Amino acid sequence: MRAAALVDLVARDLKRSLRTFSVAAVGITVGVATLAFFLALSAGMREVVLGRIFPLDRVEVIPPETSVGSVLSVLGAAPAGIEPSQVGALRRVPGVRAVLPRMRFAFPTSGRGGRAIFGRDVGAGEIPADGVDPALVRPDLLEGADFSDPDARSSHRACSPSAACAEGEYCIYPQIPWPTTPPQTGRCELPIPAVVSPYLVEVFDGVIAPSHHLPRLGGVLLRQANGLVLEWDLGRAGLGSARQGTPRRVYAKLVGISRHAMDLGITVPLDVARRLNREYAGDDAAGTFSSVVVYLRDASELTAVSGAVRAQGLEVRTSGAEQMGLLVTAITVILTLASVITVIVAALNIAHVFLSLITERRGEIGLMRALGATKGDVRAIVLGQSFALGLLASTGGLLLARLAAYGCDHLARTRLPPFPFKPDVWFVFSPQLVAGVFAFGVGACVLSALVPARRAANVEPASALSGGV
């Protein structure tokens, strides 16, 4: 039979049995819709969890037994560090795209600021901080911001409470707390440029800002050309003081939000961290790195690179990415299974509908055979119907899923309170997902019609015709 004739017959048959078929197809539509919905949701979750919370394309390399050391470093203990030579070796590991050495502040700091934005100062008794290579952060900076050690650029002019610095500079006094007599004189310095992580912004905007009725930082910071300036007390914090050096107050200016910033803390140029570590924690702290972020060429290189790292006597900090990935996968599997079962039940129902239609139309099948239809033609007609049914049902199901996803996204945007990493879009309908689900729906329909199609093809024309109307 020619394709055009087949299409014509199939279309006419579908039209004829529209009601029967639409009832049968509802199951496929619903199954396809839920399947697409859940797969898109878990793809969305995967993107948020693995793309933003626990990126899979990088590992953090730390010196051995540093889990204790990193806590102590806040308190001023000097951790064992990663030598620059080890960083070079990491860079040469196959599968590594880039390495980012980080130098953690090996002494306590605290700070407060944000009056201009929040209307009052927001402070933290302990501010972890570290320094990174400015080149990595540069794309994330506000326009015109300079992410480098401001020491060389500052005027260092003398200043005092009565003699203010020029616009943009701050008067840095040699010590805190300030002795009242005699009045101190300080030097004018530019603020230290700093970046924070989107994670911190998320936590602030999602948890801190709503509960303290503060404006959300992300939007404000990006609009505020001037950035946010922090009073930053070096060598002095709620839990203790630095072992050496004189605590003093400097200023830090938030000049961007960067994925390369530390998760909870502020990140400054590497030179600043080195200079201040030397001053407050000694040469050892200034000569080694506290951790190295290793960026992978591909997430699949994770295992190989981790092995190479351990071979160097360093450790890989587990981010929880693998566990979270597993969790997302498990949930996906369960929801997918439920949808797949829906589709299978629907397909069985379709098989039943086809079987009863074929019994009902035995005479017609016999007629077609008498008029020259081969068994293959009869089979093609039944399969063609199921294929068309699958196309319609799957299209409907995918549209339904897309609509439901839009609806859920809208509800989440308008009704859900903000929380860290709250996604704007919860569903990811990748072309592969759409194609796969579509093929599954159509395939289920066609498969369900295989047995009916064979039965139709095997109808004996002579006996079918004798039972005719």
Partner 1 sequence: MPLYELRNLTRRYGRAAGGRVALDGVTLTLDKGELVAILGTSGSGKSTLLNVLGALDRDYTGEVLLDGRELRGLTDDAAAALRQRTLGFVFQGFHLVPSWSVRQNVALPASFAPTPVADLAKRIDEALERVGLAGRGDDLPAALSGGQRQRVAIARALLLKPPVLLCDEPTGSLDHATGASILALFESLHRDEGFTVIRVTHEERVTAIARRVLRIEDGRLVDDRRQRPKESV
Ligand X SMILES: Nc1ncnc2c1ncn2[C@@H]1O[C@H](COP(=O)(O)OP(=O)(O)OP(=O)(O)O)[C@@H](O)[C@H]1O
Residues forming the site for ligand X (CB under 6 A) = 463, 466
248 binds, among partner 1, ligand X, none (CB under 5 to 8 A by kind): none
* Integer CA distances (angstroms), 85 to 20, 89, 92, in order: 74, 6, 11
* Min CB(465)–partner 1 separation in Å: 6
Q: Pairing mode, if any, of strands 129-132 and 266-269?
A: parallel
Name the helix (H) or strand (E) containing 316. strand 315-317
In the set 177, 179, 215, 468, which binds partner 1 (CB under 8 A)? 468
Q: What six digits make up the tokens of 316?
A: 């890989």
| From candidates 4, 152, 166, 225, binder to partner 1 by CB under 8 A | 4
- List residues bridging with 43 in a β-sheet: none
**Is 318 or 458 the residue whose CB approaches ligand X more closely?**
458
Instruction: Choose among partner 1, ligand X, none what residue 139 binds, the Cβ cut-off being 5 to 8 Å by kind.
Output: none
How near is the Cβ of 4 to partner 1 at its closest, in Å?
Answer: 7
Cβ closest to partner 1, residue 356 vs residue 463:
463
12 counts as binding partner 1 under rule CB under 8 A: yes
Nearest residue to ligand X, by Cβ distance, number only = 463
β-pairing verdict for 170-172 and 266-269: unpaired
Binding-site partner at residue 329 among partner 1, ligand X, none, CB < 5 to 8 Å by type: none
Instruction: Tell me how far apart the 2 most distant CA atoms of the chain are, in Å.
Output: 121
Closer residue to partner 1 (CB): 16 or 115: 16
Q: Measuring CA to CA, how many Å separate 321 from each of 60, 317, 324?
A: 12, 11, 5
Task: For the CB of residue 392, give the shortest distance to partner 1 in the complex, in Å.
Answer: 19
The interface partner of residue 364, options being partner 1, ligand X, none and the CB cut-off 5 to 8 Å by kind, is partner 1
371 vs 377: CA distance, rounded Å: 11
Q: Does 450 bind partner 1 (CB under 8 A)?
A: no
From the list ligand X, partner 1, none, which binds 2 (C-beta under 5 to 8 Å, kind-based)?
Answer: partner 1
Closer CB to partner 1, 265 or 366, in the complex: 366
Say how many C-beta atoms besides its own lie within 10 A of residue 131's C-beta: 27
Residue window 368-397: x/- pattern of binding to partner 1, with contact defined by CB under 8 A: xxxxxxxxxx--------------------
Of residues 153, 106, 151, 147, the one with CA closest to residue 258? 147
* Residues 244-275 as b or e (16 or more Cβ within 10 Å = b): ebebbbbbbbbbbbbbbbbeebbbbbbbbbbe
* Binding partner of residue 352 among ligand X, partner 1, none, CB cut-off 5 to 8 Å per kind: none
